[in-house]
């Protein structure tokens, strides 16, 4: 696996994240109703979007692993799931802070919140499955099957939760006002910068897992 | 393929019903759940129809996990799994056979859970019983299709009941919500808003995991330990 790109992207991510903080606390205006608490939104949205993207990567990598049996895809799926669980966990926490000030409750039955929580549960189970002592091949296959089943369930989870009840704000809905231009620019920049951090985390974990595979193979074949 | 699937289901049912322990364990767990939840009410208090429906489905999914663990553990002794895999029937026949067996066992369990819910949780079946029954079949189909797919995780005792529950339960959320909504209507007699949508979700779930099972079961059910 090529790893040369990780260091430069990590170096770019650091000032980019610092620039995000400037945009969040200096450039973007303070929201009139929610006040300073609204600033959590600039972290919450990128976390939620990149966690969903991570789970999508697990889905694609799982299909590709079953098709090609290339260990790279299994490692990529595992790394994406780890990062996805971390980011969705943080998205849930920041979402709760938002919900407490916006809706007056820490938790409510909202499609996006519920879908994120359900995905967090599913992929946490997926990571437990990956931590079990199975042969590498068997573990990769069963994880891929669970990775595919988990993602195809997401639209139904979302639809069923929406049928139950919804109060989530439509962030980019221009008909209902949406965001101020400064806020929109800030949130888009944050999404891009979080993307750099996401790429570094997934790349690093994938390369660590590839190294771990190599060590396992060396040990198995008594080459060390 | 269907003939082989029916043979596998018949063989599983004979083994499970003859030994008894697998189904009885699942039945007792479900009954215990219903009984324990009945303690949450004050004496003389009536539980809401929605809460009762949620408890009924909770008992059903716990039962489903035990049923599929039992069904897949039948071939773990004496290399019987290799026998099934070496048979000329396609591997999907095993999946359909396990699903059929699971369906019968789950229906047997629910035939006990439903009266228990009525008795312990103070419910009554309204005139909407036919809608409830149709929905129960649609949801049970989803439960067994996914259960038969992921139940194969227990192959080689890799994933025990606890892990299977952790993986299965969140995936079952869409049909469980549908079950709770329609179950609540069956107990209370009030048709909920979007009844057709809930039925649509249950059928979509069945179709989705029916297709996924056909495609993916071959990967998960193999000769590997």
At residue B161, the pLDDT reads 65
CA B146 to chain centre: 9
Q: Compute chain A's Rg from CA coordinates.
A: 20
Given a contact cutoff of 8 angstroms between Cβ atoms, the answer to whether A61 and A147 are in contact is yes
Given a contact cutoff of 8 angstroms between Cβ atoms, the answer to whether A80 and A61 are in contact is yes
Residues 191-220 of B with CB under 8 A from A: 194, 197-198, 201, 204-205, 208-209, 212, 216, 219-220
- The runs of H, that is alpha helices, within chain B are 2-19, 21-38, 49-73, 80-86, 91-120, 129-150, 161-171, 173-188, 195-220
Structure tokens at A152: 């195809």
**Which residues of chain A lie closer than 8 angstroms to B142, CB-CB?**
none
Which among A121, A141, A164 has the least Cβ separation from residue B170?
A: A121
**Range list of β-strands (E), A15-107:** none
> A65, A115, A125: which to substitute to probe chain B, counting the most B Cβ within 10 Å?
A125
pTM of the model: 0.87
B158 touches chain A (CB under 8 A): yes
Among A60-69, A166-175, B32-41, the range scoring the smallest mean pLDDT is A166-175
Query: A160 vs B177: CB contact, 8 Å cut-off?
Result: yes
CA distance A8 to A66: 32
Which among A142, A153, A161 has the least Cβ separation from residue B220?
A: A142
A92 Cβ neighbours under 8 A, 6+ residues apart: A113, A116, A117, A120
A65, pLDDT greater than 70: yes
CA distances from B210 to A117, A178, B132, B144 (A): 25, 40, 22, 10
B158, pLDDT greater than 60: no
Among A131-145, A191-205, B132-146, the range scoring the smallest mean pLDDT is A131-145
Can you give the residue range of the structural domain that contains A79? 43-168+178-220
Instruction: Compute how many other C-beta atoms are within 10 angstroms of the C-beta atom of residue B133.
Output: 12
Span A168-224, pLDDT tens digits:
555 555 454 567 888 889 999 999 999 999 999 999 999 999 998 888 888 776 554
Number of Cβ pairs < 8 A linking chain A and chain B: 93
Q: What residue spans define the domains of chain B?
A: 2-220
A64 touches chain B (CB under 8 A): no
At residue B54, the pLDDT reads 93
Residues 31-50 of B with CB under 8 A from A: none
Cα four-point dihedral sign B27, B28, B33, B34: positive
At residue B3, the pLDDT reads 87
pLDDT, average across residues A82-103: 91
Structure tokens at A207: 């390369």
**Which residues of chain B lie closer than 8 angstroms to A63, CB-CB?**
none
Given a contact cutoff of 8 angstroms between Cβ atoms, the answer to whether B96 and B157 are in contact is no
**Range list of β-strands (E), chain A:** none
Query: B163 vs A125: CB contact, 8 Å cut-off?
Result: yes
**Which residues of chain A lie closer than 8 angstroms to B178, CB-CB?**
160
**A222 or B189: which leads in pLDDT:** B189
Q: Is residue A35 part of a domain?
A: no
CA distance B209 to B144: 10
Query: B169 vs A121: CB contact, 8 Å cut-off?
Result: yes
**B155 or A182: which leads in pLDDT:** A182
Given a contact cutoff of 8 angstroms between Cβ atoms, the answer to whether B70 and B26 are in contact is yes
At residue B225, the pLDDT reads 64
CA distance A199 to A54: 10
Span A6-47, pLDDT tens digits:
899 999 999 999 999 999 888 888 877 778 888 888 999 999
A190 Cβ neighbours under 8 A, 6+ residues apart: A20, A23, A24, A42, A43, A45, A46
Q: Is residue A107 part of a domain?
A: yes
CA distance A208 to B160: 29
The count of residues in chain A is: 224
B47, pLDDT greater than 90: no
Residue in chain B closest to A164 (alpha carbons) equals: B177
At residue A146, the pLDDT reads 93
> A151, A156, A159: which to substitute to probe chain B, counting the most B Cβ within 10 Å?
A156
Q: Specify burial of residue A96 (Cβ count, 10 A radius: 0-12, 13-18, 19+).
A: middle
Structure tokens at B16: 């499970």
Structure tokens at B111: 């035939």
Structurally, chain A folds into a number of domains equal to 1
Query: A132 vs B173: CB contact, 8 Å cut-off?
Result: no
Determine what percent of chain A is predicted with pLDDT higher than 70. Answer: 92
Q: Considering only the C-alpha atoms of chain A, give the largest distance between any 2 of them, rounded to a whole number of Å.
A: 66
Span B83-110, pLDDT tens digits:
888 888 888 999 999 999 999 999 999 9
At residue B189, the pLDDT reads 81
pLDDT, average across residues A71-100: 93
Beta bridge partners of A31: A35
The closest alpha carbon to A97, from A22, A47, A52, belongs to A47
Given a contact cutoff of 8 angstroms between Cβ atoms, the answer to whether B70 and B17 are in contact is no
Structure tokens at B113: 């859970």
CA distance B181 to B173: 12
Confidence band for B196, pLDDT divided at 50, 70 and 90: confident
Query: A159 vs B201: CB contact, 8 Å cut-off?
Result: yes
């Amino acid at each position: 696996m090529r790893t040369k790109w990780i260091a430069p992207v990590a170096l770019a991510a650091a000032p980019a994240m610092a620039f995000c903080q400037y945009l969040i606390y200096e450039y973007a205006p303070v929201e009139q109703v929610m006040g300073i608490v609204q600033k959590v939104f600039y972290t919450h949205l990128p976390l939620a979007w990149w966690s969903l993207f991570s789970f999508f990567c697990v889905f694609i990598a799982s299909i590709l692993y079953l098709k090609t049996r290339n260990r790279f895809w299994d490692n990529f799926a595992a790394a994406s799931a780890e990062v996805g669980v971390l980011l969705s966990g943080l998205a849930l926490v920041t979402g709760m802070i938002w919900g407490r000030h916006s809706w007056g409750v820490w938790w409510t039955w909202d499609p996006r919140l519920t879908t994120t929580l359900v995905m967090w549960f599913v992929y946490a189970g997926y990571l437990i499955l990956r931590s079990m002592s199975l042969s590498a091949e068997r573990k990769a296959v069963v994880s891929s099957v669970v990775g595919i089943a988990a993602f195809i369930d997401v639209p139904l989870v979302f639809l069923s939760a929406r049928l139950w009840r919804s109060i989530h704000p439509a962030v980019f809905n221009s008909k209902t006002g949406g965001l101020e231009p400064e806020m929109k620019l800030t949130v888009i920049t944050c999404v891009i910068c979080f993307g750099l951090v996401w790429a570094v985390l997934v790349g690093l974990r994938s390369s660590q897992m590839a190294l771990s595979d190599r060590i396992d193979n060396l040990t198995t074949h008594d080459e060390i | 393929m269907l003939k082989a699937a029916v043979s596998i289901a018949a063989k599983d049912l004979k083994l499970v019903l003859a030994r008894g322990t697998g189904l009885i364990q699942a039945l007792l767990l479900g009954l215990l759940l219903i009984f324990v939840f009945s303690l949450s009410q004050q004496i003389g208090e009536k539980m809401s129809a929605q809460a009762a429906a949620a408890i009924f489905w909770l008992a059903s999914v716990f039962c489903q996990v035990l049923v599929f663990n039992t069904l897949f553990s039948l071939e773990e002794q004496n290399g019987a799994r290799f026998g099934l895999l070496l048979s000329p029937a396609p591997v999907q026949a095993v999946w359909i056979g396990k699903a059929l067996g699971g369906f019968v066992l789950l229906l047997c369990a629910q035939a006990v859970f439903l009266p228990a819910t009525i008795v312990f949780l103070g419910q009554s079946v309204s005139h909407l019983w036919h809608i409830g029954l149709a929905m129960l079949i649609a949801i049970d189909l989803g439960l067994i299709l996914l259960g038969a797919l992921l139940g194969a995780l227990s192959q080689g005792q890799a994933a025990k009941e606890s892990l299977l529950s952790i993986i299965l339960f969140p995936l079952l959320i869409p049909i469980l919500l549908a079950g709770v909504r329609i179950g609540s209507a069956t107990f209370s007699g009030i048709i909920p808003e979007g009844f057709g949508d809930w039925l649509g979700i249950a059928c979509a779930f069945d179709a989705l995991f029916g297709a996924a099972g056909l495609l993916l079961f071959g990967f998960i059910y193999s000769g590997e330990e």
